């Protein structure tokens, strides 16, 4: 949208109101404005100059923000807004630019506004669902962590400090990165991530038994938190409360570097799928700090299919199972869909002859794509070179179909893996290294 607004010298030191229409389904609004005669040094030259202030009202007539004449470009969205402006979804309706005519030259001035609308659209967003800061036992504060995440190529992060919520704390505003509030409720019997709220429960985190845990778990659900059990089969901190009566939106099956604990978690999740439970899986780096080798942030990466970059859209995609987990933000991407365009997380009608389409972008040499249902693995393909891969695979019956990529570590990677395990899990360091998962999808369900 392009608006040219003529201001006369008689309108000096007055506020002028310029309405414009925001259409439906806008995710992000950007406004830029320019005018002539604002670079004159009137004290030295004695010449007149123009000074135009800028502010913005939303469709309800409420102030969104202002930075006077110091800013010529403003972004408004629910995920990020320019400093000085509120985070707000650009709701459809009549919005208003406030033109502050502070100084106007005698012949007047034309102010030019260019307004861009970015519409909501479904796309894959990359993120890390499990991260720690100096608010618990991480080494980076909120801003340092988020800047590192942006540099790594992420679109969102979930801040999940141990037993320390983000209540009363401001998360950083970084354009292109959505920071989602959370907490890792940690007991001596297991950990669970609670996402989406500054504090999902009242009182203390401290719980001594399942009854006390369930009280916080159910309160968090009632308040709207999205919850995921962390590293359920971890050798150090396994989940010991069981799943009965637990409010659960997802299961973290890939925690930090791929290892046997994660393979056990995938096996646990697959067993739940066989039992008819539609529990989505996620991955999270459980990031605390970097070591020289390997670089651990966003390993693994959870990619969600969402129609906007708001926390609500991202968390809704997690709850619906519209996510895949990959080795890193830039590693092989794997997904499945049906020819009828049903995708992971969907429940489709089963009939004889149904197929799924398996796609892998950047499949590496020696890596194997597997298709799995309740009866087990029934299709595989091993790449002989780096390639993009696509195949149609039949659906064998009711239940679910999911896909994964597996690989075997080679010489140096094996050595590094054993060195890391020597310090973290000494017992496993002496055991043979099995094939590991490189990418993993949620299922499509067939009924």
Please give the Cα distance from 85 to 104 (Å, whole number): 25
Pairing of the two strands 182-187 and 190-195 = antiparallel
Mean pLDDT for all residues in the chain: 94
The verdict on 220 and 182 lying in the same domain is yes
Residue 37 has pLDDT above 90, yes or no: no
**236 and 202 inside one domain:** yes
Q: What is the CATH number of the domain that holds 95?
A: 2.60.120.380
Q: What is the pLDDT of residue 39?
A: 66
Is residue 87 located within the same domain as residue 166? no
In this prediction, residue 410 carries a pLDDT of 81
Given pLDDT bands bounded at 50, 70 and 90, which one contains residue 56? very high
- pTM for the predicted model, two decimal places: 0.93
Question: At 300, which CATH number?
Answer: 3.20.20.140
Q: How many CB atoms neighbour CB 227 within 10 A?
A: 21
What are the pLDDT digits (tens) for 405-421? 999 988 777 777 777 77
Q: Which helix (H) or strand (E) holds 184?
A: strand 182-187
Tallying the residues shown for the chain, one arrives at: 447
Quote the pLDDT of residue 196. 98
Residues 15 and 152 in one domain: no
Q: Are residues 267 and 403 in the same domain?
A: yes
Same domain, 351 and 438: yes
- pLDDT (tens digit per residue) in 106-127: 999 999 999 999 999 999 999 9
pLDDT of residue 421: 72
> Residues 211, 93: one domain?
no
Regarding whether 217 and 108 lie in a shared domain, the answer is no
Q: Can you give the pLDDT at residue 134?
A: 97
Residue 91 lies in domain: 2-119
Statement to judge: residues 109 and 145 lie in one domain: no
Among 119, 148, 165, residue at a domain's last position: 119
Same domain membership, residue 319 and residue 213 = yes
> For 282, phi and psi rounded to 5 degrees?
-140, 170
Q: Is 258 a residue whose pLDDT tops 60?
A: yes
Share of the chain above pLDDT 70, in %: 97
252: tokens are 């973290």
Tens digit of each residue's pLDDT (9 = 90 or more) over 343-399: 999 999 999 999 999 999 999 999 999 999 999 999 999 999 999 999 999 999 999
38 and 165 inside one domain: no
| Whether 202 and 268 share a structural domain | yes
For the chain, the helix, strand and coil percentages under 3-state DSSP, each to the nearest 5: 15, 40, 45
C-alpha closest to that of 248 among 275, 213, 221, 286: 221
When divided into structural domains, the chain yields a total of 2
**38-52, 148-162, 279-293: lowest mean pLDDT where?**
38-52
d(CA 313, CA 5): 37
Q: What is the pLDDT of residue 290?
A: 85
pLDDT of residue 42: 52
- The last residue of one of the domains, among 119, 135, 167, is 119
Residue ending a domain, choose from 84, 119, 154: 119
More confident residue, 211 or 410: 211
């Amino acid at each position: 949208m392009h608006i040219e607004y003529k201001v006369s010298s008689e309108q000096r030191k007055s506020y002028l109101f310029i309405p414009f229409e925001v259409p439906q389904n806008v995710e992000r609004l950007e406004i830029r404005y320019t005018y002539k005669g604002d670079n004159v040094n009137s004290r030295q030259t004695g010449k007149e100059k123009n000074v135009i202030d800028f502010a913005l009202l939303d469709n309800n007539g409420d102030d969104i923000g202002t930075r006077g004449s110091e800013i010529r470009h403003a972004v408004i969205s629910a995920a990020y807004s320019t400093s000085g402006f509120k985070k707000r979804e650009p709701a459809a309706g009549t919005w208003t630019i406030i033109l502050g005519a502070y100084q106007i030259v005698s012949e007047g001035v034309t102010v030019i506004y260019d307004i861009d609308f970015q519409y909501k659209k479904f796309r894959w967003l990359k993120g890390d669902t499990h991260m720690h800061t100096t608010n618990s036992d991480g080494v980076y504060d909120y801003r340092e962590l988020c800047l590192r995440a942006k540099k790594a190529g992420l679109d969102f992060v979930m801040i999940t400090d141990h037993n320390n919520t983000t209540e009363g704390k401001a998360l950083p505003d970084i354009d292109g990165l959505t920071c989602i509030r959370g907490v890792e409720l940690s007991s001596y019997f297991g950990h669970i991530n609670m996402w989406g709220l500054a504090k999902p429960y009242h009182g203390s985190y401290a719980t001594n038994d399942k009854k006390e845990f369930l009280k916080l778990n159910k309160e968090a659900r009632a308040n709207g938190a999205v919850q995921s059990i962390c590293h359920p089969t971890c050798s150090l901190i396994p989940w010991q409360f069981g799943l009965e009566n637990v409010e659960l939106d997802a299961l973290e099956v890939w925690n930090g570097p791929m290892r046997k604990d994660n393979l056990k978690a995938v096996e646990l999740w697959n067993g739940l799928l066989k039992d008819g439970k539609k529990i989505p899986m996620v991955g999270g780096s459980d990031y605390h700090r970097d070591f020289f080798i390997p670089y651990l942030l966003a390993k693994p990466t959870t990619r969600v299919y969402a129609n906007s970059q708001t926390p609500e859209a991202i968390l809704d995609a997690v709850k619906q199972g519209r996510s895949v987990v990959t080795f890193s933000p830039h590693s092989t991407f794997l997904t499945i869909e049906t020819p009828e365009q049903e995708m992971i997380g969907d429940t489709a009608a089963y009939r004889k002859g149904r197929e799924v389409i398996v796609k892998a972008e950047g499949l590496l040499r020696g890596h194997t794509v597997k298709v799995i249902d309740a009866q087990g693995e029934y299709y595989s393909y091993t790449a002989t070179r780096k390639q993009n891969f696509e195949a149609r695979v039949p659906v064998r019956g009711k239940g679910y179909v999911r896909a994964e990529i597996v690989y075997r570590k080679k010489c140096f990677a094996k050595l590094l893996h054993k060195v890391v395990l020597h310090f973290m899990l000494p017992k496993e360091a002496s055991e043979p290294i099995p094939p590991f998962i490189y990418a993993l999808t949620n299922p499509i369900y067939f009924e």
